[in-house]
Structure 1
Amino acid sequence: MESTIQPLDRVFLHLGPITIYWYGVIIGTGVLIGLWLATREGKRRGLPQETFVDLVLFAVPIAILCARAYYVIFEWSYYSKHLSEIPKIWKGGLAIHGGLLGAVATGIVFAKARGLSFWKLADIAAPSIILGQAIGRWGNFMNQEAHGGPVTREFLESLHLPDFIINQMYINGQYYHPTFLYESLWDVAGFLLLLWLRRVNLRRGELFLSYLIWYSIGRFYIEGMRTDSLMLTNDLRIAQVVSVMLIILSVCLWIFRRKKGLAKERYND
């Protein structure tokens, strides 16, 4: 049976010489849904309707460039010998931490230029970001990447997964942990948590910091299961190191901003 399993077609559409891949379509869908949610919430929070549209026009291209640069830098031993592969982002290789860094830097500059609070923008955007990540992981699924170590078909069936997921996890004669799915579900749970935290009415900035903490906890554990991690050393996975740093930084910022009176406003103010 296994020998007859064919992976899903990575190509979404051919338009003459142009090939559109599912990877890009899925990531683009995540961006659009996140933008719709952020625009809707931003309007409710008193921001001009075009605020997040304008922000996304800058943040998305910069985030993609940073995500690719981050990945290429830590895989330079390969890309230094295959320079023509660097622009081929449709094959995968976008590091979320790199994209997040680029998006945050863009958000800070954008907020300052518009005379807005970065923390207010970040709080509004946080649920959109993590939902976009949940959707984007399915692009990894289509590319058969971001998976974990080998498992049996019986194990995957014990998780009550549909056949199309189980079959897509059959790669080069072996079944693998669907870690893309584990992270996607973790992100969906984080999205729901952030929606609930809006009602708790946290202080400004703390919704975004909650996102960083939640995502980093899940990423730390799930990254440990993956077989394609970017490595800092033979034993240290970069994503795990960054996740721990983000948790520590977020907690420190949370405490510092409260002690210094920098978080007096609340989300629903």
Structure 2
Amino acid sequence: MGIGNVGGRRYGGVVIPELRFGGLAVPTHDFFVGLAVVVAAVVFVLEARRRGAFREESLVAVAGALVGGAIGMRLSGWAEHLDFSLNPSLLEAWMFGSRSILGGLTGAYAGVLIAKRLIGYRERTGDLFAPAVAIGMAVGRVGCFLTEAPGRPTSLPWGIHASATVPECPGCLAGQAMHPSFLYEIAFQLAAFAAVLWARSRVSRPGELFTLYVGAYAVFRFLVEFTRANETVWLDLTRPQWFLIPGLLLVALRLRKGYRNGYYDRLLGRPAPVSVATRGYLPGHISEETA
């Protein structure tokens, strides 16, 4: 634990690179990633059963998400630089990649689409994933908090210190108090999980619950990047922020369409228009459309 003073008060940050279970040492980050997958899988199964959608095809979608997420997370550092001569080879990226959450989410989404296309499964599954992804992210970020650079320097009273041995952390070396950026994300994901559970019976069209979650997370992640320790590359924005900008535009258009079509009327406490109410999109119903 590192201890320091901010404004006359003391704050500490814990760095635990590995966990020990008897004589077995497990990397902390990997342990919480694995735990996050298990927790997310349990929540997915419970939600699928609640919606009457727990069947072989939905399990294929989960397999696609796991495979795609692993590939996306591992290879996310392959195209880190515009000058490709500065990037690692595919093998190096796979073995020593940055394991980006955004890369993992993108890969998981692509994996679900590919898996469903391969088996000809056309029902939407996004709403089954929304609560699972939120709670899984909350658990996984505990590993990030315990092993990675906390964030940028801050004078706020809840700033934390971390060991100087934390990789790629100038603030740690300088003994500065830093934003607990991963705690911000854990709090957001727990709140998002609760919000998804509350909203799932109030969104009229299948797939829109996941769209709302993705939109909220994209906005949050863009903003929280200003507190993260990630390198800025252009116009004081980080690589994740530049990755998110086109996605934010697409999500904004998607949400605008949903709002104009009345998909969120019940969520907003507005009476649903006839054009939506007569389509048979009931909470929990799975439509015959590709996600």
If the length of structure 1 is used for normalisation, what is the TM-score? 0.77
Residues 180 and 235 from structure 1, CA distance in 2 versus in 1: closer, same or farther, beyond 3 angstroms?
same
Q: How far apart are residue 84 of structure 1 and its match?
A: 5.7
Matching of residues 87-166 of structure 1 within 5 Å = 87-88=95-96, 93-117=98-122, 120-145=124-149, 147-151=150-154, 155-156=157-158, 166=160
Residues 218 and 255 from structure 1, CA distance in 2 versus in 1: closer, same or farther, beyond 3 angstroms?
closer
Residue aligning to 2:284: 268
Q: Give deviations 1:77-111, integer Å, cap 9, x for gaps.
A: 77649x8686146xxx2212211111111111222
Asked if the contact 1:13/1:19 (under 8 Å) is kept, the reply is yes
Asked if the contact 1:10/1:143 (under 8 Å) is kept, the reply is yes
Residues 112 and 14 from structure 1, CA distance in 2 versus in 1: closer, same or farther, beyond 3 angstroms?
same
Q: What residue identity is the alignment partner of 2:140?
A: G
The gaps in structure 2 that reach 5 residues or longer are 5-11, 165-171, 262-274, 286-291
Q: Give deviations 1:17-41, integer Å, cap 9, x for gaps.
A: x852110110111111111111111
CA RMSD of aligned residues (A): 3.4
1:11 aligns with 2:41: no
Q: How far apart are residue 137 of structure 1 and its match?
A: 1.2
1:64 aligns with 2:50: no
Q: How far apart are residue 207 of structure 1 and its match?
A: 0.5
Distance 1:101 1:214 in 2: 16
Asked if the contact 2:15/2:163 (under 8 Å) is kept, the reply is no
If the length of structure 2 is used for normalisation, what is the TM-score? 0.72
Bigger fraction of residues in helix: 1
Q: What residue identity is the alignment partner of 2:246?
A: M
Asked if the contact 1:202/1:266 (under 8 Å) is kept, the reply is yes
Residues 9 and 268 from structure 1, CA distance in 2 versus in 1: closer, same or farther, beyond 3 angstroms?
closer
Q: What residue identity is the alignment partner of 1:138?
A: V
Asked if the contact 2:57/2:121 (under 8 Å) is kept, the reply is no
Q: How far apart are residue 169 of structure 1 and its match?
A: 7.1
Residue aligning to 2:182: 180
Asked if the contact 1:212/1:246 (under 8 Å) is kept, the reply is no
**Higher CA-based Rg:** 2
Q: How far apart are residue 51 of structure 1 and its match?
A: 4.8
Q: How many residues align?
A: 250
